[in-house]
Amino acid sequence: MKIGIDIRVLMDKHYSGISEYTANLLSAILAQDQTNEYKFFYNSYHDLNGRLDKWNNHNSQVIGLHYPNKIFNYCLQKIFGYPRLDKILGGVDVFWLPHFNFTSLSSSESGLKKVITVHDLSFLRYPQFFSGRKNFWHKALGVKKILKEADMVIAVSENTKNDIIELAGIDAAKIRVIYSGNNVIKKAWPEDKIKTCLDKLDISGPFILYVGNIEPRKNISGLIKAYDKLRNELRNKSENVDLVLAGAPGWKDSQIHKDWQASTYKNQIKFLGYISQEEKEILYSRAAVFVYPSFYEGFGFPPLEAMTYGAPVVCSNVSSLSEIVADAAIMINPEKPEEIAKAMKLILTDKELRAHLVSLGYERAKIFSWDKAAKEYLELFKELHENR
């Protein structure tokens, strides 16, 4: 079987979210499957300096074009429907898109089976959380048409499956849930490396941690307000805890920074920007509490990553999050900063509760495996190929 995969999501130098998902899943698939032939498509106008060499193997090959993305996406793929990506790869039996993109493929009558993974439909559920440019991009893609033309749609959670049915009108029989894996494996970081990292990030003493993009959907403003409430309640106690926000700037983040400036404790709130994988894992290992008050997630990697490193988690009770973390976190209503504050205070002041959450978190994080996800993808590819 020849399997084509669109790896345009791997063009960024730093992986996060969907690019991290794709890279980890591909590694697991190639480790398990030594028989089928894989052809990876990419397009990049820039020199990638050998960053894609790792995907060339005895049964895998990277094949690319070098157009500017705007010309390739909007003109060639969207308007002219050319070139057909499966044809560029020399013909494949199954073509998998790890994410929505401008994509022209041969018709189903040719025998090609098309698979797409949907991580979330937040742009349909909450368009107000996105910039005008992002909303235009999603409309130009024609997401509902892409889903209708796919032979199989993979959802990363039951919540995402339900959204695909409700918001895109896709038949449930054409949707399969395959849970994502856990992006981290716990390491025993040497104390000197931990100290060097924390010194570099200007962090001393206990801290509450958030990891993710700085954008409205993540509810950073609500977290800042909750932190203010927490600090007011702890004011007469010896415990002093900072709030550390680790993640790249997103869109529509001006209100978040206004709320930060308005905070009584703004000097104890640290915006780190993008951090490396090593820095992220060290922060998980030292966080007093990990808080993820997002309004919407298709899956939600950070809570599982935090649990892997023994950080007790406070998490929203909406979208997929309760499905993913189950009973291993304190669940809160993201609309209520007072609930977030109360949950953080409980973990900071109740040692037994903290230990209980840490124990539950360790076990919950073990459930999600890239090897398991890869096995289910391979079974799906085989099933589609046999039913051509």
Instruction: Give the pLDDT band of residue 237 (cuts 50, 70, 90).
Output: low
pLDDT band at 252; cut points 50, 70, 90? confident
- Is the pTM higher than 0.85? The answer reads yes
In terms of Cα–Cα distance, which of 115, 125, 124 is closest to 147?
115
Round to whole Å and give the CA distance between 358 and 350.
12
Model pLDDT, residue 262: 96
CA distance linking residue 147 with residue 18, whole number of Å: 18
Q: Which residue from 224, 217, 210 is spatially nearest to 252, judged by alpha carbons?
A: 217
Q: What is the mean pLDDT of residues 96-118?
A: 95
Q: Is 71 helix (H, G, I), strand (E, B) or coil?
A: helix
Token pair 């391979």 in the structure block, residue: 378
For tokens 């060290």, name the residue.
282
Tell me which of 138-142, 165-169, 248-252, 352-356 is least confident: 248-252
Write out the two tokens for 85: 């990506």
Q: Which amino acid is at 386?
A: E
pLDDT at res. 226:
98
Task: Please provide residue 83's backbone torsions phi and psi, each rounded to the nearest 5 degrees.
Answer: -80, 160
State pLDDT tens for residues 325-370. Answer: 999 999 999 999 999 999 999 999 999 999 999 999 999 999 999 9
Residues in Cβ contact with 234 at an 8 Å cutoff, skipping those fewer than 6 apart: 240, 241, 345, 348
User: Considering only CA atoms, which of 183, 90, 100 is closest in space to residue 144?
Assistant: 100
List of residues 6+ apart from 333 with CB closer than 8 A: 316, 317, 318, 339
> Strand, coil or helix: what is 302?
helix
What are the structure tokens assigned to 320, written together? 């997929």
The predicted pLDDT at position 240 comes to: 85
Domain boundaries, the chain: 2-181+369-386, 191-366
SS3 (DSSP) at 332? strand
For residue 186, which amino acid is it? Answer: K
* Cβ(256)–Cβ(249) below 8 Å: no
Long-range CB contacts (< 8 A, 24+ apart) of 10-16?
A: 10/42, 10/52, 11/42, 11/43, 11/44, 11/48, 13/51, 14/274, 16/248
Burial zone of 110 (CB within 10 Å; 0-12 exposed, 13-18 middle, 19+ buried): exposed
Task: Look at residue 80 and tell me whether its pLDDT is greater than 90.
Answer: yes
191-366 under CATH 3.40.50.720, yes or no:
no
DSSP secondary structure string for all residues of 154-190: EESSHHHHHHHHHHH---GGGEEE-----S-------
Q: How far apart are CA 22 and CA 157, in angstroms?
A: 16
pLDDT tens for 6-23 read 999 998 877 878 999 999
Average pLDDT over residues 240-253: 90
Question: Reduced to 3 DSSP states, what percent helix, strand and coil does the chain have, rounded to the nearest 5?
Answer: 50, 15, 35
Query: Span 163-168, mean pLDDT?
Result: 97
Residue type, 254: S
d(CA 32, CA 377): 11
Mean pLDDT computed over 175-197: 95
CA quadruple 204, 207, 211, 213: dihedral, nearest 10: -80
Task: Indicate the average pLDDT of the chain.
Answer: 94
Residues 266-315 have pLDDT tens digits of 999 999 999 999 999 999 999 999 999 999 999 999 999 999 999 999 99
Q: Give the pLDDT of residue 239.
A: 67
Strands 152-155 and 175-177: parallel
Interval 82-90 mean pLDDT: 96
Once rounded to an integer, what is the mean pLDDT over residues 201-221? Answer: 95
2-181+369-386, CATH topology level: Rossmann fold (3.40.50)
Mean pLDDT of 97-120: 95
What pLDDT was estimated at residue 235? 72
Check whether 236 has a pLDDT greater than 70: no
More confident residue, 249 or 302: 302
Cα–Cα nearest to 344, from 307, 379, 315: 315
Closest CA to 3 of 30, 24, 21: 30
Give the pLDDT of residue 108: 85
**Is the pLDDT reported for residue 250 higher than 90?**
no
pLDDT tens-digit profile of 30-70? 999 999 999 999 999 888 767 888 999 999 999 999 999 99
